[in-house]
Amino acid sequence: MTIIFAFDVCDRIDVYGLVPENHCSKLANWTTPYHYYDLEFRSECDYYNTSETHLLSGHKFLTEKAVYARWYKKYNLNFYHPTWDAEDLETSNNRTNSTFLDTPYLRRYQRAMETGEMKEALLKLEKKEHKLQRMEKRKEARLEKAGRRKSRRGRRRKAKTGNSPEQNSTLQGGSDQKRNQSTGTILY
């Protein structure tokens, strides 16, 4: 959203820390970890490529970089650290006059739409969401029921211990007190 705002108000936009779309294909043996703090090692390029194959989840890194390359001329973008060279900006997405991007995710998406895999994935996701909603409702009902039980127990304890003068006067009913305690009902 910030970049879209910048398109409207800035004459020039400098972008820092964004590698170009072809970064991983140029550096096939790149082993920089995606996160420096990740206990389970994942290289940056492996993570980028893997995330492009997920239909319904994940960040589409390579697609995002292709979009930035497309915006390069239109919005006067300048890339630093790393600096994008002419080859980076003349990716397959900019060489053709096509209005469509050609990225691994978009190719996967198109194939999934043609084969019906996308429809199946959406139905599966919908079922999963419904299941989660049902589980959440059950959990709320259990918590509500437990809360009611707890509040009843609290009232019983107060009645047995006679914490308030009103309760003390009701509990001094002699045989009524014994009968009500044995059946578990409390008179207020």
The pLDDT tens digits of the residues spanning 56-95 come to 888 898 889 888 888 887 888 899 988 888 777 766 555 5
Q: For residues 147 and 95, which has the higher predicted lDDT (pLDDT)? A: 147
The pTM (predicted TM-score) of the whole model is: 0.59
Which residue in the block uniquely carries the two structure tokens 């980028």? 48
Euclidean distance between CA atoms 96 and 130, whole angstroms: 43
User: Is residue 14 classed as helix, strand or coil in its secondary structure?
Assistant: strand
Q: Which two tokens stand for residue 46?
A: 């492996």
The pLDDT tens digits of the residues spanning 4-30 come to 899 999 999 999 988 888 888 887 777
What letter represents residue 160's amino acid?
K
Q: Is the pLDDT of residue 134 over 90?
A: yes
Q: Which two tokens stand for residue 174?
A: 């002699």
pLDDT at site 33? 83
Q: Is the pLDDT of residue 182 over 50?
A: no
The pLDDT tens digits of the residues spanning 155-166 come to 666 666 655 555
Whether the bond between 165 and the residue before it is cis, its omega within 30 degrees of 0, is no
- Residue 184 binned pLDDT confidence (cut-offs 50, 70, 90): very low
The pLDDT tens digits of the residues spanning 36-47 come to 887 777 888 888
pLDDT at site 160? 63
What letter represents residue 158's amino acid?
K
